[in-house]
Amino acid sequence: MKLQDSSLLRGQAYVNGEWIDAKSGETFAVFNPATGDELVRVPLMSEADAKAAVAAAHEAFKQWRTTTAKERATVLRRWYQLMQDNMEDLALLMTLEQGKPLAEARGEVQYAASFVEWFAEEGKRAYGELIPTHKQDARILVSREPVGVVAAITPWNFPAAMITRKAAPALAAGCSFICKPAEDTPLSALALAELAHRAGIPAGVFNILTGDPRALGSVLTGHELVRKLSFTGSTPVGKLLMAQCANTVKRVSLELGGNAPFIVFDDADLERALDGAMASKYRNAGQTCVCTNRFLVQDGIYDRFVEALAERTRQLKVGSGTDADVQQGPLINAAAVAKIQSHIDDAVAKGASVVCGGKLHALGRTWFEPTVLRDVTPQMQVATEETFGPLAPVFRFSDEAEAIAMANDTEYGLAAYFFSRDLGRVWRVAEGLEYGMIGINEGIISTELAPFGGVKASGLGREGARQGLEEYLECKYMLMGGI
Ligand code: ADP
């Protein structure tokens, strides 16, 4: 398969409106996880490159912040339209670098573009306030201002959407933006930069740095001209970056790991629960932070649920993401495969049984069989660790209080799902779950319209919705006296 527009495949970084190499001249390879082939080489940038990008973004910010929300919206709207017009190429690039099936990649491009469209509009509503005064001759005004230069560090599982979900509100608010995408998947980011360039986003407002995570990260979290960090990735790295930001007291948004429970009560609509289970578990081969990590199923429906889930799981078509009808592509790398296998081995050693799958797929290397485990207990690794793969461990519970306690028994608090038709139970469980997002009789919750984010070790702040814009705005209080 070939790109219709080959200029969307870039082998350079994008800084200050220009395509550039690393100052050192060094590069690194980007691989196709389905074949192991090298796709292209990109610059291996380091501290000096990051400092130059921060300086450029700071210069650009001075102008960008003075534009009107409508002017910014016009440019963002063009960027959105270019994503739509180049949908097929963006999807193909994503499948090549990340592995997800083309249909899912198209879905992600659409999702990525939706943030740009939505925040282009929402930027116009960054309203201030006039607060009833405390003294007759003065007025209290509150205005909203962009926070400044924003740095983003993004993961490989959603190579486009995790960037636009940060960039769109940042740019709409009047901030300039520097992103370091994951080293596995910089191509979607660079293609977005090419489209940003064509859309007329001014030089220095949107920048993509490729390279050494630690070196780039140390500048992006340590530089005093960067006023905010928005990170999506693992909890350990999020904690580290948050600590690195402490010295310059940056604003921080973190979207970290999850350990999503998916609770099925006896009174659930079984077919609906199964639809939700398949979507929430196997999307992106289980490699999303909101993918179900633990199925918690009530005694009365346990056996039927396990059988039906295994039946559907066996039918998943596994293969290369570019092949038609494939539902599960390769995993990102060998380490991801090893982690799933170790979770299965640990569970089986402690008494769980494999209902289907359970081992490396016949395609080898980075493919893993979609797997269902039954008789899983809280003593097993899968109870506390995020598997990030196509593994569905099914735990058992007896009553509502036990389900809520099991669901909350984790350091994480990102997404949770539950299925019930009892109205009272729906309220009790929804309020009892310590999570930032709850799917009630729904297995897919992501939309640009709603605030996405977690509590506890799953992060800080929200992305999408009006809350997503707040993250990029400071409020300024002005007391205007002598009236
Ligand atoms: P994952 O387990 O999903 O790969 P990571 O948290 O390791 O999650 O990676 C998410 C992003 O964080 C990637 O862009 C990666 O390059 C970056 N990253 C990882 N370690 C560091 C670090 N020490 N400093 C800055 N960025 C980092």
**Among the listed residues 98, 281, 331, 93, the one whose alpha carbon sits nearest the alpha carbon of residue 195:** 93
Atom of ligand 1 nearest to the CA of 217: 25
For the Cβ of 237 lying below 6 angstroms from any atom of ligand 1, the answer is: yes
Query: What mean pLDDT do residues 78-83 have?
Result: 98
Query: Cα(17)–Cα(197) distance, rounded to whole angstroms?
Result: 7
Q: Note the residue count of the chain.
A: 483
Q: For residue range 229-264, list pLDDT tens digits in order.
A: 999 999 999 999 999 999 999 999 999 999 999 999
153 lines ligand 1 (CB under 6 A): yes
| Mean pLDDT taken over the chain | 97
Residues 6+ apart with CB under 8 A from 17: 197, 202, 203, 204
Beta strand 251-255 with 38-43 is unpaired
Is 104 a residue whose pLDDT tops 90? yes
Decide if 300 contacts 266 (C-beta within 8 A). Answer: yes
Q: How confident is the model at residue 69 (pLDDT cuts 50, 70, 90)?
A: very high
d(CA 98, CA 191): 14
Sign of CA dihedral 342, 348, 352, 356: positive
- pLDDT of 361-396, one tens digit each? 999 989 999 999 999 999 999 999 999 999 999 999
Complex prediction ipTM? 0.99
Domains in the chain, CATH or no CATH each: 6-256+458-479 (3.40.605.10), 260-440 (3.40.309.10)
Q: What is the pLDDT of residue 348?
A: 98
Rounded distance between C-alpha atoms, residue 156 and residue 359, angstroms: 24
For residue 23, pLDDT beyond 80 = yes
Concerning whether 255 is annotated as a catalytic residue, the answer is: yes
The pLDDT assigned to 444 comes to 96
Please tell me the residue having the least CA distance from ligand 1 atom 13: 182
Model confidence over 6-21: pLDDT tens digits? Answer: 999 999 999 999 999 9
Structure tokens at 377: 């207990």
d(CA 453, ligand 1 centre) in Å: 18
What digits encode the pLDDT tens for the residues 34-51? 999 999 999 999 999 999
Q: What is the pLDDT of residues 151-189, one digit of tens each?
A: 999 999 999 999 999 999 999 999 999 999 999 999 999
Per-position b or e across 118-145, b if 16+ CB within 10 A of its CB:
bbbebbeebeeeeeeeeeeeeeeeeebb
* pLDDT, position 178: 99
pLDDT tens figures, 346-358: 999 999 999 999 9
Residue 1 has pLDDT above 80, yes or no: no
CA of 332, closest atom in ligand 1: 4
pLDDT mean over 450-457: 98
Q: What is the 3 state secondary structure string of 141-208?
A: EEEEEECCEEEEECCCCCCCHHHHHHHHHHHHHCCEEEEECCCCCHHHHHHHHHHHHHHCCCCCCEEE
- What are the residues facing 376 on neighbouring strands? 395
Which band of pLDDT confidence, cut at 50, 70 and 90, is reported for residue 477? very high
